[in-house]
Chain A
């Protein structure tokens, strides 16, 4: 029953707090992703779970076992390294059966497992190849095969697709997902690519500067971000700054820059509070000309980018804020640069956040 539990785990490197008081519960047989910008501590967290480094504070449980003092070889895990770390002096086969061998499996059993996992990653014909003779995609599959062959039920993957080109990356992520499901494993997958995390995860933890900001299903994170950073990092958001003008039974009236008034369905705010409204680009409704809808703002189309599936408009609002609006390219009429438009949004799809103390720019920076 490999669920993973972290209780108040902290890890420092000198002055840098790489993992800051993190608590987390990854359920049995869950595909769980750690998502965040590079340098936020994802790898460190994964290495703590693997036992490659020790926490300064806190407890780590795998199943019911407190593993703080258990060395990596006794944690019964599979680890896929970002750079694969295939042993350069062994061929693909020897890499794959390394785990069964060092665990003292019977030779025949080790070989059976080796064949099984190689079958699974469809690399049977390259048994004799050394790592430097394999392509990136092949190395990646061997790395996964090697981790699986050790027979662990908990698979830790550190940006396993980071070194591959886009096409291969997209194929392999579903392949890994399928194998994990077929084998009934628990997986923790580290990535900085939100679309990758969204595509394959049961749940995702969003990290920033050593802390976990929010844990949830992809849908929850997208629909109900709990912070400006999550709203920014998962998908895309337009941020409009303003002050709370009044609160009534329908929600909150917010005055944006330039005296524009808009409504959000949220209620628990106080008059005069400085806030930020987060609106997804596809939430906006755009029409040509001047229209008087709920929550409508006038603006001028400044840039049009055709992206294939979608068409992306940058609209300069009359208060000089710039917003991004995305529309399906095959539906409706396109707008042109310089065109006067009215953008509007439904109050229930406009979450409100307190204006961050550090400033908006700093809050959403991924540095």
Chain B
């Protein structure tokens, strides 16, 4: 039983405070050295080149416009997301129909469709004149441009809101709402004055996540942007010139961080208007007719703006099966050779990044959740860990590349790719794990300790089994994020991952059928992997 022996040895080691602290300190050092500092230092190294932009008013106003566009889209989309996503989450969490679990699964689909693919799918759906909705009208319903960007961002950030809010609603102690009802509040009043104010932290968290996703998305946005320019696209357009990169990256990072911190600080103080009640109106609005039409509208929005556009790319993929394209693809003929290489790279990278995240992220998650080094350092780490989340991935890639290439030119490109993906995905894992650990009643751990379990054993036998599901969902997020990452991947190396290849294909006008099939495979593989993972870790982890 060598495996048990190792576990026992680790158990013993773990009761040694020096060993324990070393593990925690190493995880902090790794975080700073490989994830947080390189992108920041990258900008600082090239600080001087900002002069290039500052001295050119035209370039600067272009840059500022692009940044403004980024924030405008992010704010607008996140807001609409909350408005449209919360009723959906409510329906899934509170409804009684068996079909809701199907809906629940479907609402995750935009998650598993790599964003670049999603972009192409939306492009087909909204503006392709021979296939999508637009074929009914003869001309593009929505041409590439700002509106399509907004539609795209809505589509991919919607599931974030739904996921977070469904979880929050399921965790919520129903008694508060019931108490409100027994006191005479109509359902709408109860939700407005009791449930949502209590769930405010989750709403803010989901808003921030959607916001961050919108600010940082690059690959798909590029496909649908047309002449529209936001921050990431501006950076992409000026690749090779340091000045614009540093300038835009810096402002995006600084502004996003400021917004993030402001929301964190002011969020808890934000009061919802709950003291005013309109009993008759709210009672009417609570009627089943109103609730029914709200559910109908919610479903309609979900179908038309999220689900169908996300999966629309399957249509040309099906077409491909019946033409020669499918066998060409399987044979690896022509461009397909490169495609399969990129698929291999994408998924190996995804797996590697996920594994590394588990190893380096877990101690950090516990550190943050259990305040091992005190309250203050935990809060600070928590904020710092989230920074890579709000940095546009292109900006992060650019500054990361500058840092490593300037200082450690000998490092192979594949390493840069790994570092970039690690930096981008790390917050997802640490966030979901630390939240899960925090939810475990500390008394359970204490009980195990009093029964004689060493710290590592407590982890193996208590914490791990109780957080298994969250660890899985953290890993899934890391994996899907890595598989669909485009912006940073493009700028840190010349290696071609699948999303990058697809963006290139779109730009070089590869036939729709080929592109559709390329996207189709990517969705299919991601879907299979997620399905397998779900089967491996059964159950929903409600403790």
The chain A residues found within 8 Å of chain B, CB to CB, are 50-52, 71-73, 75-79, 81, 83, 85-90, 94, 98-99, 101-104, 146-147, 150, 156
Nearest residue (CB) in B for A156 is: B182
Tell me which residues across on chain A come within 8 A of B197, comparing CB atoms.
89
Known pairs A94-B275, A101-B277; A85 contacts B179 (CB<8 A): yes
A72 touches B178 (CB 8 A): yes
A104 touches B277 (CB 8 A): yes
Q: How far is the CB of B287 from chain A (nearest CB, A)?
A: 11
Known pairs A85-B175, A87-B194, A89-B197; A98 contacts B180 (CB<8 A): yes
Nearest residue (CB) in B for A149 is: B183
- Taken together as a complex, chains A and B put the C-alpha atoms of A182 and B279 apart, in Å, by 30
- Taken together as a complex, chains A and B put the C-alpha atoms of A71 and B182 apart, in Å, by 9
Known pairs A102-B277, A104-B277; A52 contacts B180 (CB<8 A): no
A71 touches B180 (CB 8 A): no
Inter-chain pairs besides A72-B182, A87-B180, 17 sampled, C-beta below 8 Å: A73-B183, A73-B187, A83-B175, A85-B179, A86-B179, A87-B176, A87-B179, A87-B194, A89-B197, A94-B275, A98-B193, A99-B184, A101-B275, A104-B279, A104-B280, A146-B179, A147-B183
Q: How far is the CB of A157 from chain B (nearest CB, A)?
A: 12
- Taken together as a complex, chains A and B put the C-alpha atoms of A123 and B278 apart, in Å, by 29
In the A-B complex, list the 5 residue pairs whose CB atoms are closest, starting with the nearest: A104-B279, A99-B183, A79-B182, A102-B185, A85-B175
Q: List 23 A-B contacts (CB under 8 A).
A: A50-B178, A52-B178, A72-B178, A77-B182, A78-B182, A78-B183, A81-B175, A83-B173, A85-B175, A85-B178, A85-B179, A88-B198, A94-B275, A98-B185, A99-B183, A101-B275, A101-B277, A102-B183, A102-B193, A104-B279, A147-B182, A150-B182, A150-B184
What 0/1 readout, one digit per residue, does chain B (276-303) give for beta carbons within 8 Å of chain A? 0111100000000000000000000000
Tell me which residues across on chain B come within 8 A of A85, comparing CB atoms.
173, 175-176, 178-179
- Taken together as a complex, chains A and B put the C-alpha atoms of A98 and B189 apart, in Å, by 11
- Count of A-B contacts judged by CB separation below 8 Å: 81
- Taken together as a complex, chains A and B put the C-alpha atoms of A237 and B211 apart, in Å, by 67
- Taken together as a complex, chains A and B put the C-alpha atoms of A156 and B186 apart, in Å, by 19
Q: How far is the CB of B184 from chain A (nearest CB, A)?
A: 4
Tell me which residues across on chain B come within 8 A of A52, comparing CB atoms.
178, 181-182
Interface residues of B, CB < 8 Å — how many? Answer: 25
Partner of B184, one of A73, A89, A90, A94: A73
- Taken together as a complex, chains A and B put the C-alpha atoms of A99 and B190 apart, in Å, by 11
Tell me which residues across on chain B come within 8 A of A103, comparing CB atoms.
183-184, 279
- Taken together as a complex, chains A and B put the C-alpha atoms of A90 and B278 apart, in Å, by 19
A73 touches B181 (CB 8 A): yes
Tell me which residues across on chain B come within 8 A of A75, comparing CB atoms.
182
Nearest residue (CB) in B for A81 is: B175
A71 touches B184 (CB 8 A): no
B182 touches A102 (CB 8 A): no
- Taken together as a complex, chains A and B put the C-alpha atoms of A78 and B181 apart, in Å, by 10
Task: Indicate the member of A78, A86, A102, A104 with the most B CB atoms within 10 Å.
Answer: A102
- Taken together as a complex, chains A and B put the C-alpha atoms of A230 and B176 apart, in Å, by 35
Nearest residue (CB) in B for A88 is: B198
Nearest residue (CB) in A for B186 is: A73
A71 touches B178 (CB 8 A): no
Task: Indicate the member of B176, B181, B280 with the most A CB atoms within 10 Å.
Answer: B181
Q: How far is the CB of B279 from chain A (nearest CB, A)?
A: 4
Tell me which residues across on chain B come within 8 A of A98, comparing CB atoms.
180, 183, 185, 193
- Taken together as a complex, chains A and B put the C-alpha atoms of A147 and B279 apart, in Å, by 18
B198 touches A102 (CB 8 A): no
- Taken together as a complex, chains A and B put the C-alpha atoms of A72 and B190 apart, in Å, by 11
Tell me which residues across on chain A come within 8 A of B178, comparing CB atoms.
50, 52, 72, 79, 81, 85
Tell me which residues across on chain B come within 8 A of A73, comparing CB atoms.
181-187, 190
Partner of B181, one of A72, A83, A89: A72
Partner of A79, one of B179, B275, B279: B179
- Taken together as a complex, chains A and B put the C-alpha atoms of A81 and B193 apart, in Å, by 19
Q: How far is the CB of B493 from chain A (nearest CB, A)?
A: 49
Interface residues of B in 148-195 (CB under 8 A from A): 173, 175-176, 178-187, 189-190, 193-194
Q: How far is the CB of A225 from chain B (nearest CB, A)?
A: 34
- Taken together as a complex, chains A and B put the C-alpha atoms of A127 and B186 apart, in Å, by 25
Q: How far is the CB of B282 from chain A (nearest CB, A)?
A: 8
- Taken together as a complex, chains A and B put the C-alpha atoms of A87 and B179 apart, in Å, by 9
- Taken together as a complex, chains A and B put the C-alpha atoms of A88 and B198 apart, in Å, by 8
Nearest residue (CB) in A for B282 is: A102
Q: How far is the CB of B254 from chain A (nearest CB, A)?
A: 33
- Taken together as a complex, chains A and B put the C-alpha atoms of A98 and B274 apart, in Å, by 10
B180 touches A89 (CB 8 A): no
Q: How far is the CB of B124 from chain A (nearest CB, A)?
A: 45
- Taken together as a complex, chains A and B put the C-alpha atoms of A81 and B173 apart, in Å, by 12
Tell me which residues across on chain B come within 8 A of A87, comparing CB atoms.
176, 179-180, 194, 198
- Taken together as a complex, chains A and B put the C-alpha atoms of A248 and B517 apart, in Å, by 96
Partner of B183, one of A71, A83, A89, A146: A146
- Taken together as a complex, chains A and B put the C-alpha atoms of A210 and B524 apart, in Å, by 50
- Taken together as a complex, chains A and B put the C-alpha atoms of A78 and B184 apart, in Å, by 9
A89 touches B179 (CB 8 A): no
Tell me which residues across on chain B come within 8 A of A101, comparing CB atoms.
275, 277
Q: How far is the CB of A50 from chain B (nearest CB, A)?
A: 6
Tell me which residues across on chain B come within 8 A of A147, comparing CB atoms.
182-183
Partner of A102, one of B173, B175, B176, B189: B189
Q: How far is the CB of B171 from chain A (nearest CB, A)?
A: 14
Tell me which residues across on chain B come within 8 A of A156, comparing CB atoms.
182
- Taken together as a complex, chains A and B put the C-alpha atoms of A156 and B178 apart, in Å, by 13
Q: How far is the CB of A233 from chain B (nearest CB, A)?
A: 28
Tell me which residues across on chain A come within 8 A of B184, comparing CB atoms.
73, 76, 99, 102-103, 150
Nearest residue (CB) in A for B176 is: A85
- Taken together as a complex, chains A and B put the C-alpha atoms of A136 and B64 apart, in Å, by 57
Tell me which residues across on chain A come within 8 A of B181, comparing CB atoms.
51-52, 71-73
Tell me which residues across on chain A come within 8 A of B182, comparing CB atoms.
50, 52, 72-73, 75, 77-79, 147, 150, 156
Task: Indicate the member of A71, A81, A83, A87 with the most B CB atoms within 10 Å.
Answer: A87
- Taken together as a complex, chains A and B put the C-alpha atoms of A301 and B179 apart, in Å, by 53
Tell me which residues across on chain B come within 8 A of A150, comparing CB atoms.
182-184
- Taken together as a complex, chains A and B put the C-alpha atoms of A78 and B178 apart, in Å, by 11
Q: How far is the CB of B198 from chain A (nearest CB, A)?
A: 6
Tell me which residues across on chain A come within 8 A of B179, comparing CB atoms.
79, 81, 85-87, 146
Q: How far is the CB of A184 from chain B (nearest CB, A)?
A: 20
B180 touches A102 (CB 8 A): yes
Q: How far is the CB of B224 from chain A (nearest CB, A)?
A: 41
Tell me which residues across on chain B come within 8 A of A76, comparing CB atoms.
184
Q: How far is the CB of B186 from chain A (nearest CB, A)?
A: 6
Tell me which residues across on chain B come within 8 A of A71, comparing CB atoms.
181, 187
Tell me which residues across on chain B come within 8 A of A79, comparing CB atoms.
178-179, 182
- Taken together as a complex, chains A and B put the C-alpha atoms of A71 and B278 apart, in Å, by 18
Tell me which residues across on chain A come within 8 A of B193, comparing CB atoms.
98, 102
Task: Indicate the member of B181, B182, B189 with the most A CB atoms within 10 Å.
Answer: B182
What 0/1 readout, one digit per residue, does chain B (252-278) give for beta carbons within 8 Å of chain A? 000000000000000000000011011
- Taken together as a complex, chains A and B put the C-alpha atoms of A65 and B288 apart, in Å, by 22
Q: How far is the CB of B169 from chain A (nearest CB, A)?
A: 16
What 0/1 readout, one digit per residue, does chain B (197-222) give for beta carbons within 8 Å of chain A? 11000000000000000000000000
- Taken together as a complex, chains A and B put the C-alpha atoms of A79 and B176 apart, in Å, by 12
- Taken together as a complex, chains A and B put the C-alpha atoms of A89 and B180 apart, in Å, by 13
- Taken together as a complex, chains A and B put the C-alpha atoms of A77 and B180 apart, in Å, by 11
Tell me which residues across on chain A come within 8 A of B173, comparing CB atoms.
83, 85
- Taken together as a complex, chains A and B put the C-alpha atoms of A331 and B78 apart, in Å, by 79
